[in-house]
Structure 1
Amino acid sequence: MTDEAGTKKSKARPSIKDVAALAGVSWRTVSNVINGHRYLRPETKAKVEDAIAELGYKPQTAARQLRTGRSNLITLAIPYIDHPYFASLAHAVVEAAKSYDYTVLIDETRGLPEKEEQVAQGYKNSHADGIIFSPLTLPVDSILAARDETPLVLLGEHTLDPRIDHVTADNVESTREATEHLISLGHRRIAFLGYLTEDTLGTGDLRLEGYRRALAAAGIDEDPDLIIGAAPQSDPTQTVSAERDYSREEGYARARQILLLRKTAPIDAVVCANDLLAIGLLRAFREASVQVPDDIAVTGWDNTPEGGFSAPRLTTIAPDMNAIARFAVEAVHQRILGSTEAPAGRVAPHRLMIRESTVGDRP
């Protein structure tokens, strides 16, 4: 477009009033459509959405925040971005948030208490409408003491508390099922790998409890030597890091301990607290010519893509990541809208994925 002097003029950015005029509605109706007002006639909503698409209108976030008091941003605070479980969780949350027109900001706490306290405090200067938080070290009492008015939903079974909204997978029940699967195959000398030897909010203790319940129900005596910590207590110089201790490298290193134990006491299966530990084990066992599952069976937890391509493919617990994300986003959205209902907890489903690391090449 040019003026009379031939000077090129930029095309004016469409406004909310332009959308209203094209759709034949008021600008307030357009605003209601943009902000997800639930009491709108479908035909009115469709006309406004068509006008927005035709004009290429993009709402100004700052202006919308001034009008509604909301930014349509939520923060997902997780311990480790590069951990396969949390990477999958982040993707699922981003997808679930699209249904509510939220943009997701992702923060990595690395389980540091000071970082987790910042999350609990609502980040102070953050413009996020709400927070979905997976704490690693901060207990619920500390979170409740530190939190501000920002809507907050916790992830993780260790966060179960009637005073705050939370979403979890059942770590105890799922690991009990994995252990029972091994028992049903005739295994009796079953080790557990992934017990953390320091006081953290990790899921290792919960999964260990599921393992113990399965042994007890089957009348199998628990052998303390078969509960293997990711950082062995025999080496007090080692520092514990959930990132390092639940890694492929740590699983590979702990395989040496299991192989030594097998020389004096039979071990016919290993329940691993996550897939990465199990994948490290599989590599070390292969190098030592230990056949999985003929010599020793292995299970994981997480259903990481890597486990589906390992050799042999890994039997694992698959949490419904989409359900975890959907429940969490729904919960924080309701709090953002001002819900005053009592805090609630939701447990996402899971399933046992049986693969070659426990049953071999059976059809």
Structure 2
Amino acid sequence: MPPPPLSTPGRRPTTLRDVAEAAGVSIKTVSNVVNDHPHVRPEMRAKVKAFIAELDYRPNGIGRQLRQGRTGLVALALPDLTSPYYGELAAVLVDAARERGLTVLVEQTDGDPDREREVATGFPVRLVDGLVFAPQSLPVEELQQRRDSTPAVLIGEYGEGSGFDRVTIDSVDLGDTAVQHLLGLGRSVVAFLGDKAEASTRPPVVAQRVEGYRRALRRAKVRFDPTLLRPLPEWTRAHGFDGTMALVAARPDVDAIFAANDLVAFGALHALRRLGLRVPQDVAVLGVDDVDEARFAAPTLTSVALDRARMADLALGLLADRLAGHHGPPRLLTVSGDLVVRESTAG
């Protein structure tokens, strides 16, 4: 996987926050000095510049753009801020942007195509320098025809062929990793909880996880059983609960559940308790995202962790390149998942 744009090998690059803390001033003051703001006292400018030199701080692409009259605002458009995954992603991206001297404006789209269309066409984020966008339902054809000139980076599995820089998740590998782990425990009836009712309507994230699920089965020479692909209307706790109740009623021999995300897995854990089934002795459960709640579930939840901080850093790096004048073809950076084993599969 290629390294993040504008990153420095070795130690973590010095940030505006590092300089501000060392100099005992605000991040805004350091930003004003870096960007040659006229209303900074000479002695303060000299003090901050001394710490900049001492700490070897190097302004990134976005910071340099502020000297050219940019607003220092970046928009972040996500489907659902009440989702732990997207809430945590927003938090780390806001922190990463703050270290670059940027302010983030957050827009919730609810995955609605009309609201995603508004974001893609520049409303309500017209005054920003750049956009980080996680579309869910807007057709790729519309993204290709986007006329707004604001640099944008897509984050997530959606948007292949859109012509935008993207930070994506290798959900095929993620599904393979999850099911390989469950099969390695000796489980033989592994369900995927979170499919769509019709294979033709699977969005990319679902299609990729199903592909990874099937790849792991093939490698282990386990017969694929389509009845173990269980559809859910949405990836929520409630639907995870209802889906698990229906799954066990239809397939009482199921001994492992690969849940599409951690919320679905939490619902599955509750349903299995309600049914008197033990986790993991009777049914092992594995989720995706490794949200903070996974460490406090009962039992604690095994999950495929996604490095949200790295995703945020990669997205802002791509955006910084565009704002610094990069006009090359769209780039794709991929983040893989790491298995975090806890009680729901380990006992």
Report TM bin, short chain: 0.7 to 0.9
1:216: how far off?
1.2
Other-structure match for 1:301: 288
- Structure 1 residues 235-258: Cα deviation after superposition (integer angstroms, max 9, x where no partner): xxxxxxxxxx11101111112112
1:157 CA drift (Å):
2.1
**1:336 maps to which of 303, 323, 326:** 323
Is contact 2:36–2:67 with CA below 8 Å preserved after alignment?
no
- Is residue 149 of structure 1 aligned with residue 138 of structure 2? no
- 1:338 Cα shift? 2.0
Task: Report the residue type matching 1:34 in the other structure.
Answer: N
1:172-211 equivalence runs, <5 A? 172-197=172-197, 199=201, 201=203, 203-211=205-213
1:289 corresponding residue in structure 2 = 276
Aligned to 1:55: none
Deviation at 1:159, TM superposition (A): 2.1
Conserved in 2, the CA contact under 8 Å of 1:75 and 1:106?
yes
- State the one-letter code of the partner of 2:170: D
What CA deviation, in whole Å up to 9, does each residue of 1:176-224 have, x standing for no partner?
1010001111111111000123636462222111111111111111111
Aligned residue number for residue 34 of structure 1: 35
Q: What's the CA shift for 1:139?
A: 2.8
Query: Following superposition of structure 1 onto structure 2, how do residues 53-64 of structure 1 map, counting pairs within 5 Å?
Result: none
Q: Matches of 1:205 and 1:253 in 2, distance apart? A: 22
Contact residue 247 and residue 276 of structure 1 kept, 8 A: yes
Cα distance change of structure 1 residues 189 and 125 upon mapping to structure 2, 3 Å threshold = closer
Whole-Å separation in 2 of the counterparts to 1:50 and 1:72: 24
Return the letter of the residue paired with 2:276. S
Tell me which of 196, 221, 235 is aligned to 1:219. 221
- Is the Cα contact below 8 Å between 1:273 and 1:300 reproduced in 2? yes
Structure 1's unaligned 5+ residue stretches are 1-29, 37-42, 52-63, 232-244
Alpha carbons 1:154, 1:164 under 8 Å: kept: yes
Give how far 1:273 is off. 0.4
Distance 1:182 1:133, change over 3 A: same
Specify the code of the residue in structure 2 equivalent to 1:256.
Answer: M
Q: Evaluate the alpha carbon distance shift between residue 295 and residue 173 of structure 1 in structure 2; reply closer, same or farther with a 3 A threshold.
A: same
Aligned partners of 2:307, 2:324: CA distance in 1, in Å? 26
Q: Secondary structure at the match of 2:245?
A: helix
What is the deviation of 1:91? 0.5
Structure 1 counterpart SS, 2:188 = coil
Any idea what SS the aligned residue of 1:228 has? strand
> Is residue 156–residue 167 contact of structure 1 (8 Å, CA) maintained in 2?
yes
CA distance in 1, matches of 2:83, 2:46: 41
> Structure 1 residues 119 and 201, CA, compared in 2 at 3 Å: closer, same or farther?
farther
User: What is the match of residue 256 of structure 2?
Assistant: 269
**Matches for 1:319-334 after TM superposition, within 5 Å:** 319-334=306-321
1:124-173 deviations in Å (ceiling 9; x for gaps): 77210000000000133211202411001001123233832000121110
> What does the per-residue CA deviation read over 1:283-311, in whole Å, with 9 as the maximum and x for residues that have no partner?
11112110011111110001011111111
Letter in 2 for 1:193: L
Distance 1:77 1:35 in 2: 31
Report the identity percentage: 38
Name the counterpart of 2:299: 312
Give me the whole-angstrom Cα distance separating, in 2, the residues matched to 1:35 and 1:346.
33
**Pairwise CA RMSD of aligned residues?**
2.6
How much has 1:225 moved relative to structure 2?
0.9
One-letter amino acid of the counterpart of residue 34, structure 2: V
Instruction: Give secondary structure in 2 for the equivalent of 1:146.
Output: coil
1:247 paired to 2:247: no
Deviations along 1:317-338, one digit per CA (max 9) or x if unpaired, are: 0011100000001111221222
Conserved? CA contact 1:162–1:345, under 8 Å: no
Q: 1:260: which partner in 2? A: 249
8 Å CA contact 1:160–1:345 kept in 2: the answer is no
Matches of 1:322 and 1:186 in 2, distance apart? 34
CA contact (8 A) 1:135 1:201 kept: no
The alpha-carbon distance between structure 1 residues 200 and 185, as it changes in their structure 2 partners (threshold 3 A), is: closer
Alpha-carbon distance between aligned partners in 2 of 1:127 and 1:97, rounded to the nearest angstrom: 17
CA contact (8 A) 2:190 2:255 kept: yes
The CA deviation string for residues 12-40 of structure 1, in whole angstroms up to 9 with x for no partner, is xxxxxxxxxxxxxxxxxx9661379xxxx
Which of the pair has more CA radius of gyration? 1
The two structures have a TM-score, normalised by structure 2, of 0.80
Q: CA deviation at 1:66?
A: 10
Match of 1:228 in 2: 230
In structure 2, the residue corresponding to 1:138 is in which secondary structure? coil
In structure 2, relative to structure 1, the CA distance for the partners of 1:46 and 1:176 (3 Å cut) is: farther
3-state SS in 2 of match to 1:157: coil
**CA distance in 1 between partners of 2:297 and 2:97 (Å):** 32
Change beyond 3 A, Cα 1:75–1:205: same
Query: What is the distance in 1 between the residues matched to 2:83 and 2:282?
Result: 30
Shift of the 310–66 alpha-carbon distance from structure 1 to 2, 3 Å rule, reads closer
